[in-house]
Amino acid sequence: MKNKYSFYIIGAIILTLFGSCTSKKQEKTSKTTEQYESNWESLRQHETPEWALDAKFGIYACWGAYSQVGAWKDVNNINWGNYYITPYDGIYNTDANEPRRKAFEKRFGSITEGFGYRELCENMDDSGFDPVQWGELIKSSGAKYAGICTIHHDGYAMWDSEVTPHCVGKTGPKRDVLGEILSEIKKHDIKTIVTFHHARTYHQFTKYQKNLKEAGITRADLLDPENEDYYWFLGGKERFIKNRKALTFEVIDKYKPDILWFDGFSGGGDDFGTEEILAHYFNMGIKENKELSVHNKGNFGTNFGIYSYENGSNRPGFVDWPWEDDTPSGVAWCDWSWWYGIEYKKPRNVVVRLVDLVARNGGLLLSMNPRPDGSFDKGQIDLLEGIGKWLGQNGEAIYETRPWIIYAEGHVDPIFKQDPNCPIEHHYAFGKEARPTQPDSEQFNATDIRFTAKENTLYAIQLDIPKGGKTIIKSLGSKTEISDKNKIKSIELIGHGKVSFRRESNQLIIDLPSNMPNDWAPAFKIEVKGKLKQRKLEGKNKIIPMQS
């Protein structure tokens, strides 16, 4: 009898425990499946996933109807202030002698007779566009997420849209460019990003309409109510908001991207429906069981998404929040789209810039510059393949890492100052009158060391090859407690193997082989005795990007 009661008691305990576990499991499930609402109290519950913190390097591309203007050599201008990527600013200029308007009218017809931006869209050339090549080139770069500029300031959709005929699926190429590119990216197990710039479209084109009216150019296509069926952004603010939401929902639902990136004034007070879009996006993630990320270009206030600094402008030396710089492949600050005078960055400069950013808790989003027909210059290909070659060898010091307690040694400040500045550069034609950008990677040399950490492993990356066959790291002398035992077990030069070293009080000296594994940035894998010191990231840095 005693055994029988014991059996009942044990069974009841098991049922109670099982019920408790089930209840907790249900509670956890209901929490993870809770729908987001279109307000910031709800949206701020979203957390950036670990894969987005681990990725570090992404690729996108500025290619659209505007790209063909870059080949018009009668439009003679350095690419400053997005001159070629916003040709409508010239096409609809009230000055008939504006170079872009003159070049446009010579090719298509006068804006006074109703010719307009639609002609550029109808004539967009895709003869060199090979999505398979795009996918392979992006894969070779080492990027962990990639996509294209999905809809730029011109409002021209780079997918086959059912919301508007002002899209690449209904004009010009008449194909789903975005869908084809994302499909190839996914084949390489790379996360997808879509960038939206169309929050700017309403204010810009409203301004052009006003200017045209005041100049008496009444037959301009932007002033014809019948063209509202084509230009989705005409017809007043209410119509703009409705269509902007519909277009963004369409991309979210059709392509289910891993990352959304907004340019311009698209949140936090500008009532263009961004809160509804974000809620829709996050709820898609719940439905599809996808962990999603959002890049924050100053649109959404502090501590939300991944901060996005355009060319590093106005960025502090260290940001205690996930962030990235976005920058073009071209050397000039505004070389976002291709133009006939473009010069490309060198692989070494992008690699050391990436290293510098990752050490500071950031990452890099690099914009490709496809030619007007969708093909690539050799300089673009060489750049991406060069970056990928270095990452293929040294990626373990970049991907999935976090900043160490010391993140930088070298330029510009004294060694142990914990907020060293990056070298600053200005646009080559405008000097200090231009917006400053950072870093100027040309200034980095062998005195520059950047540190990253992964679990109990420390990485030290030198931003040039030192002379004399030795690497000297002043930050890792024995006076610096690198672990609770403050001992180094071994050092490996990645791509070569173990190397000898000696540690003095004020410096660590590493002996280098005669044949270095790469010519730009040797990376050292340092194994310590004991537990590696770790930096705590608490999100206290409130400095966010500027809307630009």
Which residue shows structure tokens 């010091």?
Answer: 397
* Alpha-helical runs (H) found in 215-346: 237-255, 274-288
pLDDT digits (tens, 9 = 90+) for 233-284: 999 999 999 999 999 999 999 999 999 999 876 554 457 899 999 999 999 9
Pairing type for strands 57-61 and 191-196 reads: unpaired
Whether residue 503 is found in the same domain as residue 356 = no
Residue 508 — pLDDT band, cuts 50, 70, 90? very high
Domain assignment present for 548 = no
- The SS3 assignment for 20 reads helix
Amino acid at 288: E
Mean pLDDT of 490-506: 98
- State the pLDDT at residue 277: 96
Burial 458-479 (b: 16+ CB within 10 A, else e): bbbbbbbebeeeebbbbbbbee
Question: Is a pLDDT exceeding 70 seen at residue 409?
Answer: yes
- State the pLDDT at residue 429: 67
Q: How far is the CA of 56 from the CAs of 32, 146, 225, 309, 325, in angstroms?
A: 26, 12, 46, 14, 10
- State the pLDDT at residue 356: 95
The backbone region for 189, taken as left when phi is positive above 0, alpha when psi lies in -120 to 50, beta otherwise, is left
Whether residue 371 is found in the same domain as residue 446 = no
Whether residue 193 is found in the same domain as residue 163 = yes
Domain assignment present for 104 = yes
**For residue 372, cis peptide bond before it (omega within 30 degrees of 0):** no
The DSSP bridge partners found for residue 161 are none
The DSSP bridge partners found for residue 194 are 148, 260
Final residue of a structural domain among 400, 417, 434:
400
Q: For residue 453, what is the domain's CATH number?
A: 2.60.40.1180
Contact of 174 with 125, CB cutoff 8 Å: no
| Residue 267 burial (CB count, 10 A) | 27
The Cα 544–Cα 314 span in angstroms is 9
Whether residue 394 is found in the same domain as residue 477 = no
Question: Closest Cα partner for 63 from 296, 326, 339?
Answer: 339
Pairing type for strands 191-196 and 145-151 reads: parallel
- 3-state SS string over 233-266? CCCCHHHHHHHHHHHHHHHHHHHCCCEEEECCCC
The Cα 373–Cα 409 span in angstroms is 44
Question: Closest Cα partner for 489 from 525, 528, 531, 544?
Answer: 528
Contact of 259 with 192, CB cutoff 8 Å: yes
Query: Which positions ≥6 away from 306 have C-beta within 8 Å?
Result: 48, 52, 293, 294, 295, 296, 322, 323, 324, 363
pLDDT digits (tens, 9 = 90+) for 27-66: 333 335 679 999 999 999 999 999 999 999 999 999 999 9
Number of domains in the chain: 2
- State the pLDDT at residue 418: 43
Whether residue 226 is found in the same domain as residue 251 = yes
The Cα 309–Cα 326 span in angstroms is 6
Whether residue 408 is found in the same domain as residue 422 = yes
Least trusted range by pLDDT, from 82-86, 216-220, 435-439: 435-439
Domain assignment present for 45 = no
The Cα 531–Cα 225 span in angstroms is 69
Range of the domain at 182: 50-400
The Cα 118–Cα 232 span in angstroms is 12
CA angle, 231 then 237 then 238, to 5°: 100
Domain assignment present for 352 = yes
Q: Which helix (H) or strand (E) holds 359?
A: helix 347-359
Whether residue 173 is found in the same domain as residue 244 = yes
Average pLDDT, the chain: 90
In a 10 Å sphere around its CB, with 0-12 CB exposed, 13-18 middle and 19+ buried, how is residue 15 labelled? exposed
Question: Is a pLDDT exceeding 70 seen at residue 26?
Answer: no
- State the pLDDT at residue 500: 98
CA angle, 452 then 458 then 462, to 5°: 60
Final residue of a structural domain among 400, 416, 450:
400
Question: Is a pLDDT exceeding 90 seen at residue 378?
Answer: yes
Question: Is a pLDDT exceeding 90 seen at residue 309?
Answer: yes
Whether residue 388 is found in the same domain as residue 415 = no
Domain assignment present for 423 = yes
Residue 3 — pLDDT band, cuts 50, 70, 90? very low
Q: How far is the CA of 172 from the CAs of 67, 126, 312, in angstroms?
A: 13, 8, 35
Residue 436 — pLDDT band, cuts 50, 70, 90? confident
Question: Is a pLDDT exceeding 50 seen at residue 22?
Answer: no
Contact of 246 with 238, CB cutoff 8 Å: no
Domain assignment present for 536 = no
Whether residue 361 is found in the same domain as residue 408 = no
Whether residue 376 is found in the same domain as residue 523 = no
Whether residue 382 is found in the same domain as residue 426 = no
Final residue of a structural domain among 400, 427, 443:
400
The Cα 479–Cα 501 span in angstroms is 16
Q: For residue 60, what is the domain's CATH number?
A: 3.20.20.80
Whether residue 378 is found in the same domain as residue 416 = no
Contact of 321 with 287, CB cutoff 8 Å: no
Least trusted range by pLDDT, from 331-345, 426-440, 489-503: 426-440
pLDDT digits (tens, 9 = 90+) for 92-139: 999 999 999 999 999 999 999 999 999 999 999 999 999 999 999 999
Contact of 445 with 520, CB cutoff 8 Å: no
The Cα 69–Cα 73 span in angstroms is 9
Query: Which positions ≥6 away from 177 have C-beta within 8 Å?
Result: 63, 126, 129, 131, 148, 158, 159, 168
Contact of 178 with 150, CB cutoff 8 Å: yes
Domain assignment present for 538 = no
Domain assignment present for 541 = no
- The SS3 assignment for 350 reads helix
